[in-house]
Amino acid sequence: MKKIAYIELDTHAEIAGNFMELMMGSKAFKVDYYFSEKIIKQIGKHHSNIHLSESTELLNQLNDQQYDLIIIGTAHRYFNLFKEITAKYNTSIIVHNLNFAKITHFQLFKNIFKKDFRYRLKLYLKEDLFSAPDVFKKAKKLLVLDQSLVRDDLQYLPVFFNQFQLNNTTEIFTIVIPGEVSQSRRDYKKVLQQLKSFKSKTHFKIIFLGKADGKELRSLKDFSNESSENISIQYFIQKVPQQEFDEIMQSADVLWCPIQKGTEFFSNKEIYGETKMSGNVGDAIKYGKVAIFPTGYDSEYPFLIPERDEVEQQILNVDNSYDYNFHIKFNRQKVSAQLEETLKILL
């Protein structure tokens, strides 16, 4: 039985949790997980193979074991640590921002002064920010979580599987817009403008499923006071608890994902669907929901529907026009087998 270490000290707890679920009971691999306290709290699980770790402890913990493969879930910090790991072990890294993985030392230096200067200076002084390009170059394989992003030497790592099949049975048509309510990530101005032009007598409930504040929160409050009788909206001013998030996502008739095409990571341009995956893809798979994405989002998944100009009618036709068997095509056992085959390639 081959031994794997999965490391997540930073941000992507849900992906780490999915990996755990898929590898549970594996007869081909024994997996140890090295998580920060923050990640363990988000996952909410405690098993003998989950080890509390910090950047200062991880190397010693790894040295006590003999791993055939190490997977780094997020390499956005601790570059000095990950540089040592990639130099010593057979290491694969999940890449969430493809352009950042190709950034030059000179560009890194310039970007320190563009935004979040104190935080970036800390990364430079204490975590060897300039080692970032070396970390990605020394990794045996770079992994992506969306098949549409596979190119060159990138390897697809299947970690998303269908967990819910409940469909909404109420007369109210529920549209859920998942994700942090931030104009920089999603075009909420356009959504509110489109809602004002809805003409059907259908009762729509629009749920902005993420924390809202600042200008976005004020816009939602204003719209709520001005909207027509057949449109109601719900929004949140605090982080939504996971159980409530799950329940609301299951209640959706359709997901509406007005993601911005362009975004940034470390002041480096990234493009959703080209160099960066939207987390809403994983949401659609997990909850078994058809999702409306902006035209131009590059994806091979048929359940991601390009938004049309007549978006109201498109939304109403979702139930009749689109049928996708998430519970079959993204069955947990099926994805688990695919994951194991991929891990064998990485050995």
Q: DSSP state, 321?
A: H
Residue 74 pLDDT greater than 80, yes or no? yes
pLDDT on residue 169: 66
Percent of the chain with pLDDT over 70: 98
Tell me what the mean pLDDT of segment 252-262 comes to: 93
pLDDT on residue 36: 96
pLDDT on residue 322: 64
**What's the pLDDT tens digit per position in 211-247?**
999 999 999 999 988 877 889 999 999 999 999 999 9
Residue 8 pLDDT greater than 80, yes or no? yes
Residue written as token pair 């056992």? 333
Residue 321 pLDDT greater than 60, yes or no? no
Q: pLDDT category, 174, cuts 50, 70, 90?
A: very high
Which letter, b or e, does each residue of 63-72 get, where b requires 16 or more Cβ atoms within 10 Å of its Cβ? Answer: eeeebbbbbb
Please tell me the least confidently modeled range out of 102-106, 252-256, 289-293, 314-318. Answer: 314-318
Q: DSSP state, 70?
A: E
Q: Are 206 and 291 in contact (CB under 8 A)?
A: no
The per-residue pLDDT of the chain, averaged, comes to 92
Cα dihedral 143→146→148→150 (10° resolution): 10
pLDDT on residue 126: 87
Which letter, b or e, does each residue of 121-155 get, where b requires 16 or more Cβ atoms within 10 Å of its Cβ? Answer: eebeeebbbbbbbbbbebbbbbbbbbebbeeeeeb
Determine the straight-line distance between the first and last CA of the chain, rounded to whole angstroms: 12
Strand partners, 291: 255, 304
Identity of the amino acid at 18 = N
pLDDT on residue 346: 97
pLDDT on residue 165: 79
Distance CA 71, CA 140 (A): 10
Cβ burial of 281 (10 Å; 0-12, 13-18, 19+) is: buried
Distance CA 11, CA 9 (A): 7
Q: Are 53 and 35 in contact (CB under 8 A)?
A: yes
**What's the pLDDT tens digit per position in 85-144?**
999 999 999 999 999 999 999 998 888 888 888 888 888 888 899 999 999 999 999 999
Residue 82, SS3 per DSSP: helix
pLDDT on residue 103: 93
Residue 173 pLDDT greater than 80, yes or no? yes
pLDDT on residue 323: 65
